Structure 1
Amino acid sequence: MAAKPRRIAIVTGASRGLGRAIALALAEDGCALVLAARDAKALAEVAAEADKRGAAGSLVLSTDLSLPGSPSAVIDQAIKSFGRIDILINNAGDTQRGDFLDLEDDLHLSGFALKYHATVRMCRAAWTYLEESGGCIVNIAGIGAQTPDAQFSIGGPVNSALINFSKAVSKRSGAPRVNVVCPGNIETDRLSRRIETYADQNGLSREDASRQMRDNLDIDAYGKPEDVASMVRYLCSPDASYITGANFIVDGGATQGI
């Protein structure tokens, strides 16, 4: 029996947190990985761990995806190295929290540049290759898209736009499967910073701040990066072959809307 061709997966924002967990999950499925982020050292560490877990090779690309030419350069390098693309995970992005009146134009522009515009450019550059392979795209947004928050007036609109874009392009004739995953409060560096800020603002210990934030969210526990990676892994698998244009919330029940 002929061996199945290896799948080639691109993961952006792969150096830590959700991107790292997603890359390692796909490595366990035997994918070859193209790992893109700014931190070359951290990416190299993820690549080494991915190889231990079964990745069919890894390509590390240190790049700033907010720059207009970077997404197409990543796709070009992926094709040059592996000849095809089967999976595209757009995970890069970090938007500034804070009061609306304190958030100047540059923070709004940079938030959209890295999370929204980079995703659009990555999809555009990879599109024909994913059509050829019958591949899939998973865009990582966030629950701020569903639940507006006064402290998240950049990230919420960015995530909402990302969902709208994903649903729109999924309807193109012959499109690869395109889905969105919206993580909630996941134990990453970003959540740690939020807990520390909350503790400082309210004169609490970190442990008490973490517990109070969790109680305010009405959830039993914060999520793990692996919880999100499991959903992404499923959406990239043949078991999800009839799922496209969908949005999946992974938040432990924090989102109360329908």
Structure 2
Amino acid sequence: MRTAIVTGASRGLGKAFAIGLAKDGFAVVLCGRDGGLLDDTAAAAHAAGAPKTVCIAADLAEPGAVETTVAQAIQATGQIDALINNAGATRRGDFLTLTDEDFLDGFALKFHATVRFCRAAWPALEASKGVIVNISGVGAHTPEPDFTIGGSVNSALINFSKAIAKRAQGTGMRINTVCPGHIVTDRLLRRIEALASERGISFEAAREEIRIAHGIATFGEPEQVADTVRFLCSPAAAYIHGTVLTVDGGATPGI
């Protein structure tokens, strides 16, 4: 029985990752702050084919939470074959209004928890010749003045992931990064609602304005990112290691 840990699994991308991996026969260990929403994800993953689901409600930004979570995962399932680091959101806003605490909070969960998970799960993943997929974002490639925290965190995640991929050479482990673009999750819907309120326009008009600004034909769906994660966790990606895959519908123009 292959086991995958998915962080930030209560909703959005994390929930889609858990369901997608369940379809491929993984047992899934679901981590997040909201136990009720984790139970919902667990039910959906079980229905999709997961042979076992484990829910661990925890604030992964707290020291010690990650190590405890990994220990519980191994105790419950016996091994770790995939680690999907997806937890963490960062505050948007004018750089001049963002505080030191905003930046520290942004790094605490999305960056530092990822580092701790990789360290804590490393022995188990090395034993299973497993896979790590770190979820970054297109803000790593395209700096924006209202996304100085998220862009910085995402860039740091890519650098970190590349570095530990070199560390893993020869172990049989594979480590890659996925950069989702503008995906229909609660976070994107809140952005649209905020723009609509600020501009006094309809939700549909605000949605269209954001879509056009990013030069994309449509927003992505969580399942489309999940398909990429499933691929990276599959034997079909056996020769893909230390790379960054962007899933953004062509929004990122850089090389």
2:199 maps to 202
| Matching of residue 36 in structure 1 with residue 31 in structure 2 | yes
Aligned equivalents of 1:19, 1:129: Cα separation in 2: 22
2:248 maps to 251
Match of 1:158 among 128, 153, 156: 153
1:3 maps to none
Please, what is the CA RMSD of the aligned residues?
0.7
Q: Are the aligned partners of 1:131 and 1:174 in contact in 2 as well (CA < 8 Å)?
A: no
1:174 CA drift (Å):
3.5
1:68 CA drift (Å):
1.6
Runs of 5+ unmatched residues, structure 2: none
| Matching of residue 76 in structure 1 with residue 71 in structure 2 | yes
2:50 maps to 55
| 192-201 or 22-31: bigger deviation | 192-201
1:204 CA drift (Å):
1.2
DSSP 3-state at the match of 1:73: helix
| 120-129 or 175-184: bigger deviation | 175-184
1:174 maps to 170
DSSP 3-state at the match of 2:148: coil
Query: Amino acid of the residue matched to residue 92 of structure 1?
Result: A
Match of 1:121 among 94, 116, 133: 116
Identity value in percent? 57
2:211 maps to 214
DSSP 3-state at the match of 1:11: strand
Query: Amino acid of the residue matched to residue 164 of structure 1?
Result: N
Aligned equivalents of 1:113, 1:216: Cα separation in 2: 30
Query: Amino acid of the residue matched to residue 140 of structure 1?
Result: I
1:201 CA drift (Å):
1.9
1:63 CA drift (Å):
0.2
TM-score norm. by structure 2 comes to 0.98
Aligned equivalents of 2:132, 2:150: Cα separation in 1: 21
DSSP 3-state at the match of 2:177: strand
